[in-house]
Amino acid sequence: LGISQQATAKTMEIGSKAMSMNGVEMIKLTRQVVATGLAIDKDLNQVMADFNTMAPQLTQFGENMTTVFAKLEAQSKATGIAAGDLLNTAMKFDTFEGAAQAAGKLNAILGDTVVDTMALIHASPDEKIEMLRQSLDDAGKSFDDMHRREQQVIATSLGLGSVMEAQKLFNEENADAYESYASNFEKGIDTSKTQDDISRLAKQTATINDVLKGAASNMASTINVATSALRATAETIYKTFTGATD
């Protein structure tokens, strides 16, 4: 699949050290990350790098970690905004203060209470992004039709960095693209193509226990060979010596 061994090793290290996974569970984690990239047709090395970078924030979601990651990757693919940036934006609204400020500014501009502060706090990162995007639709507004000052306030309040990033998020065509990618996850990402590729990855990857067993077996074989060679050498020396003294 052309995935960097270094990136794969990093993902497995995260599974082992941060999440106390065994060898089989680490393989499953890696397969889920790869399946995400295959499902949305995104470069697998980039997807793996995204996961490794985002993992410190994603691990708090436990067994839902890869689901949250997959949906953020789908949003990233649809909008062109880096998945890590989407996660950082969403996590700004994970406190009451952050969510209240964002909701207050959006509601003031949109002229209605379309963003609920408590709902925003308790939503997962991907849900937070979708709630913010949906707020304009609920208010019957179009980001492109807004005055540039309003666009600036929205971009700043959401921490998107620029109006252009906000345009990517609220673009209706990008929203449609996300719905398409999201439907792939609803159906399940193990399509025949995806499953074949994942199976190939699994065959190419040994569990840590297998590696250790293989290393132990190879070491034992090496020791046996060395012992046999030493025995043969000793016998030759003995025969030579005794022959010479006779």
pLDDT tens-digit profile of 174-188? 666 666 666 666 554
pLDDT at 216: 42
**Mean pLDDT over residues 77-85, rounded?**
92
More confident residue, 108 or 112: 108
pLDDT tens-digit profile of 46-73? 999 999 999 999 999 988 999 999 999 9
Task: Give percent of the chain above pLDDT 90.
Answer: 41
On whether the CB atoms of residues 37 and 43 are closer than 8 A, the answer is: yes
Which residue stretches of 40-82 are H helix? 44-58, 65-79
Q: What is the largest CA-CA distance in the chain?
A: 113
pLDDT tens-digit profile of 194-246? 455 555 555 554 444 454 344 444 444 443 444 454 455 445 444 544 554 44
Report the predicted TM-score, pTM, of the whole model to 2 decimal places.
Answer: 0.72
**Mean pLDDT over residues 73-102, rounded?**
92
The residues, ordered by sequence, that sit 6+ positions from 66 with a Cβ below 8 Å of its Cβ are 29, 32, 33, 36
The residues, ordered by sequence, that sit 6+ positions from 4 with a Cβ below 8 Å of its Cβ are 45, 48
Tokens 């996974």 label which residue?
Answer: 21
Structure tokens at 75: 């949003």
Of the chain, the end-to-end C-alpha distance in Å amounts to: 68
